[in-house]
């Protein structure tokens, strides 16, 4: 049969057509080989061949080769069955799969440097890398810390002999004498066996005991402890985590990165996990990845991550996706610390006293309660008023749970809030304002802030909060219901604490930075709450990308800015708008405005059909219907009487536009725009002294024109360390809640200034909300305390509510005189100061 086949093949080759075809194939192969070898470097060919060999071996060992060990059933034999044949190529084939390791190491390094700087960590810390494998993590850490010099000792603990051998060769090549490779079960590893000078009786190690028991700890603690894609490969993970918890020093840092899958039902009621953006995995993702990884004895069950969060306090937590060949594999990064701290109840009570402006003696009362001692009799209004942070912490302690993540942050600036509540979720993780619309210079003149003032103000974008901080008041409470607005303020505060002026200017002056994520992870993360860090890790790279439009083209207010820019391009006045932003004199500015720009931006057609619509006013400008009604009512009254001063004497707003037609509504909005913009152009030089409108025209600030908080002098003052008495930001507290809730938890007579911006315009006339808030403000303010209000109405209806509630109201700026600026923004019809009598 074989002879016949060969004969047929030989006969086929005698055919001329077959000979031509064969010659053509050979010629093509020769030409292709010539081109490849002539124009491709041999090193590249060798690299491609090596990569193909490595990934082929990786695919065979991971997907085809059975992992049975030697039949003993031990974990070490199972690991050897999996790793022995691929130990030499492990690092080369895991770079794209095991993502997040660099970020975890950078976060841990940033925390370690911060704790070393603040004296919370020993000068020569000890690092234990559990499941460290080939030692890649330790060599990678050299990018963030000088491993041979920074650490007293580094211990790599792994159960695979093949991987440990690769690690030994690595550190022998590097010449790092302080790195020790230990091939041992992580559950039985203890530092006291390797660190000399410890008595045997003090080296007792108890597995499985609570980390709250000091006797359960190893007598030598690890200052840094990491687990990188190792926890998912440990079958008995409970004792492994218990051992790691007992191994960690009291002031130590733990970092974990690993794959996971989880349903939101499992975590939605927790208050201690530090953020839930992208934590939920879809059903198909949970089923597919759990089943796929089980083939290689990798377990993605959510209980492993849950137990980590239960045993440690959460400093930072984030959920990411490994993008590989079109797939999105869920993984998480966790940075934590020991749950217990010295005098935890005292620290908790002291923080509660700061948040509620209570006298600190109430903290001593709390401590006496814990010791079952009789308490001194005290006014119930003082002793029973606590923050939500305190109440949630007490609940957690009673249930043996970790405290909320806000308690473990390095700076107690951000106060705990429940991010799962609908009142916070309604904003869809987006801030409305990327910059603040209130004139900080006028605020300073009107309020005359002193070192004795305790201020409560709406956060907005945080610009004014930082301006108040420069005045060095006793304390500032920044309040906003939108978590993202407070995330933005937190980022600015962290920038003062972690960045040089040049980097801060790029982020908040230009609105762009090519290395934002690197700065966030390595420099800003120690100064951010977990929720804020998680938010900016997800949103920041796109927000501050040099290829994008920048920070000030984000948020809800971006719609208004985009409309202005779009109209400028469409109608051919974009260049004129840019010239308006660079005009050097008021005369030049007025000429540019009058000739071309004004007729577009103050177009009646635009006001009637776009800006005048309720949807645009709310989505783009943050103007609620109640505020729009005030504008329309004032316009109608002025149209009826023709007397602005007379109209300003009557209350504005009754909760509805009244008999104002759609056309009249457009006229009212147009008239309001004219009274806003014309005086600004006529009296303020945008290029040098009005950054509020400059950023709208350019999308960024300039070195000649920017907010006060972005000056080099302000950076020098506000960048003082938060623990330093000279730091203006040390007494800043950020509340994510409604004004009513924050006022209700303040001690009576504790505030001296409340800056409510235009928030009262949002209330419905006749409803109980406004009187209730006025009563709450009065109770929290000291005698002589002041409330700063701005309104779209000439005389807002709620001024009467303040007067009835025991305040003396004074209008300090208004549009009674047509053509005059109330301030550089000139966005509001009137400004008021109400003083508690």
- pLDDT per residue as tens digits for the range 57-105: 555 555 445 555 555 555 555 555 555 555 555 555 567 778 889 999 9
Beta bridge partners, 258, equal 332
Percent of the chain with pLDDT over 70: 77
**Mean pLDDT score, 552-564:** 82
Task: Scan for tokens 């991987």, then name that residue.
Answer: 163
pLDDT at 620 over 80: no
Sign of torsion over alpha carbons 191, 193, 199, 202: positive
Name the token pair of 677: 């913009």
Q: In whole angstroms, what is the distance from residue 394 CA to residue 535 CA?
A: 27
Q: In whole angstroms, what is the distance from residue 216 CA to residue 209 CA?
A: 6
The full 3-state SS of 294-311, as one line of letters, equals: HCCCCCCCCHHHHHHHHH
Name the token pair of 49: 């061949």
* pLDDT value of residue 375: 45
> pTM to 2 decimals?
0.85
Strands 179-183 and 475-479: unpaired
The number of angstroms, rounded, from the C-alpha of 428 to the middle of its chain's C-alpha atoms is 14
3-class secondary structure, 599 = helix
The secondary structure of residue 701, as a DSSP letter, is -
Instruction: Report the Cα–Cα distance between both ends of the chain, in Å, rounded.
Output: 115
Res. 24 pLDDT band, cuts 50 70 90: confident
Task: Give which of 177, 75, 178, 181 is closest to 136, Cα–Cα.
Answer: 181
Strand order across the beta sheet in which 248-259 lies: 179-183, 153-158, 126-130, 222-228, 248-259, 327-338, 312-324
Task: Give which of 379, 406, 643, 624 is closest to 531, Cα–Cα.
Answer: 406
Q: Identify whether the C-beta of residue 611 lies closer than 8 Å to the C-beta of residue 421.
A: no
pLDDT at 541 over 60: yes
Name the token pair of 200: 């045997």
Strands 222-228 and 248-259: parallel
What value does the mean pLDDT of the chain take?
81
Q: In whole angstroms, what is the distance from residue 589 CA to residue 685 CA?
A: 7
Res. 197 pLDDT band, cuts 50 70 90: very low
Q: In whole angstroms, what is the distance from residue 351 CA to residue 347 CA?
A: 6
User: What Cα–Cα distance (Å) separates residue 427 from each residue in 243, 454, 531, 553?
Assistant: 42, 29, 15, 17
Strands (E), 465-548: 475-479
* pLDDT value of residue 29: 72
3-class secondary structure, 224 = strand
């Amino acid at each position: 049969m074989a002879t016949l086949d060969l004969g047929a093949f030989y006969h086929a080759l005698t055919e001329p057509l077959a000979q031509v075809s064969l010659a053509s194939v050979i010629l093509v192969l020769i030409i292709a080989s010539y081109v490849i070898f002539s124009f491709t470097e041999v090193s590249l060919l060798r690299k491609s061949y090596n990569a193909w060999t490595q990934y082929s071996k990786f695919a065979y060992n991971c997907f085809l080769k059975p992992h049975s060990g030697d039949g003993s059933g031990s974990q070490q034999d199972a690991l050897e069955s999996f790793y022995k044949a691929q130990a030499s190529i492990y690092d080369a084939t895991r770079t794209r799969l095991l993502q997040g390791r660099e970020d975890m190491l950078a976060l841990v390094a940033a925390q370690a440097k911060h704790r070393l700087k603040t004296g919370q960590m020993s000068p020569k810390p000890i690092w234990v890398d559990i499941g460290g494998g080939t030692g890649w993590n330790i060599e990678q850490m050299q990018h963030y810390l000088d491993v041979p010099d920074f650490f007293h000792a580094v211990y790599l603990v792994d159960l695979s002999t093949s991987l440990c051998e690769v690690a030994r060769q690595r550190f022998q090549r590097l010449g790092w004498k302080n790195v020790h490779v230990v091939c041992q079960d992580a559950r039985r590893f203890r530092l006291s066996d390797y660190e000399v000078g410890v008595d045997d009786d003090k080296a007792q190690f108890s597995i499985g005991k609570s980390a709250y028991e000091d006797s359960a700890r190893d007598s030598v603690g690890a200052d840094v402890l990491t687990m990188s894609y190792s926890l998912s490969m440990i079958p008995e993970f409970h004792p492994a985590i218990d051992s790691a918890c007992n191994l960690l020093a009291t002031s130590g840092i733990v970092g974990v990165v690993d794959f996971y899958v989880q349903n939101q039902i499992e975590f939605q009621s927790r208050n201690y996990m530090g953020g839930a953006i992208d934590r939920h995995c879809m059903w198909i993702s949970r089923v597919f990845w759990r089943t796929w990884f089980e083939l290689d004895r990798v377990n993605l069950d959510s209980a492993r991550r849950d137990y980590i969060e239960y045993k440690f306090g959460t400093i930072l937590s984030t959920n990411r996706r490994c993008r590989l060949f079109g797939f999105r594999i869920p993984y998480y990064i966790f940075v934590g610390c020991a749950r217990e701290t010295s005098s935890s109840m005292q620290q908790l009570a002291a923080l509660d006293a700061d948040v509620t402006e209570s006298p600190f003696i109430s903290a001593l009362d709390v401590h006496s309660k814990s010791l079952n001692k009789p308490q001194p009799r005290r006014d119930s209004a003082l002793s029973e008023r606590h923050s939500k942070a305190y109440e949630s912490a007490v609940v957690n302690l009673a249930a043996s749970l970790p405290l909320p993540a806000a308690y473990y942050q390095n700076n107690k600036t951000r106060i705990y809030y429940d991010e799962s509540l609908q009142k916070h979720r309604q904003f869809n993780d987006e801030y409305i304002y990327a910059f603040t619309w209130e004139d900080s210079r006028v605020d300073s003149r009107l309020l005359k802030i002193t070192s004795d003032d305790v201020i409560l103000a709406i956060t907005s974008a945080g610009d004014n909060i930082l301006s108040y901080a420069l005045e060095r008041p006793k304390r500032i409470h920044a309040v906003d219901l939108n978590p993202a607005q407070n995330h933005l303020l937190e980022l600015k505060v962290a920038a003062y604490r972690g960045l040089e002026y040049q980097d801060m200017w790029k982020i908040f002056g230009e609105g762009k930075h090519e290395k934002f994520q690197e700065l966030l992870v390595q420099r800003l993360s120690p100064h951010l709450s977990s929720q804020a860090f998680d938010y900016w890790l997800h949103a920041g790279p796109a927000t501050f990308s040099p290829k994008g439009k920048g920070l000030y083209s984000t948020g809800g207010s971006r719609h208004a800015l985009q409309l202005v820019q779009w109209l400028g391009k469409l109608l051919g006045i974009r260049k004129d708008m840019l010239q308006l932003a660079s005009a050097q004199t008021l005369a030049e500015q007025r000429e540019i405005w009058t000739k071309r720009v004004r007729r577009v931006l103050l177009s009646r057609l635009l006001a009637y059909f776009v800006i005048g619509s309720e949807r645009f006013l709310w989505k783009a400008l943050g103007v609620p219907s109640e505020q729009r009604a005030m504008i329309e009512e004032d316009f109608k009254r002025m149209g009826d009487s023709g007397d602005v001063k007379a109209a300003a004497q009557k209350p504005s707003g009754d909760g509805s536009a009244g008999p104002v037609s759609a056309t009249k509504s457009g006229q009212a909005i147009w008239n309001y725009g004219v009274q806003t913009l014309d005086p600004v152009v006529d009296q303020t030089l945008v290029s040098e002294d009005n950054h509020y409108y400059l950023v709208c025209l350019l999308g960024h600030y300039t070195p000649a024109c920017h907010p006060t908080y972005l000056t080099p002098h302000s950076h020098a003052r506000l960048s003082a360390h938060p623990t330093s008495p000279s730091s203006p930001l040390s007494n800043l507290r950020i509340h994510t809640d409604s004004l009513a809730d924050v006022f209700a938890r303040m001690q009576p007579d504790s505030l001296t200034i409340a800056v409510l911006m235009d928030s009262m315009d949002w209330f419905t006339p006749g409803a109980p909300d406004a009187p209730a808030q006025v009563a709450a403000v009065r109770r929290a303010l000291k005698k002589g305390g002041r409330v700063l209000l701005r309104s779209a109405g000439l005389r807002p209806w709620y001024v009467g509510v303040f007067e009835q509630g025991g305040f003396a109201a004074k209008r300090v700026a208004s549009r009674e005189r047509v053509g005059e600026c109330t301030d550089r923004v000139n966005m509001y019809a009137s400004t008021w100061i109400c003083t508690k009598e």
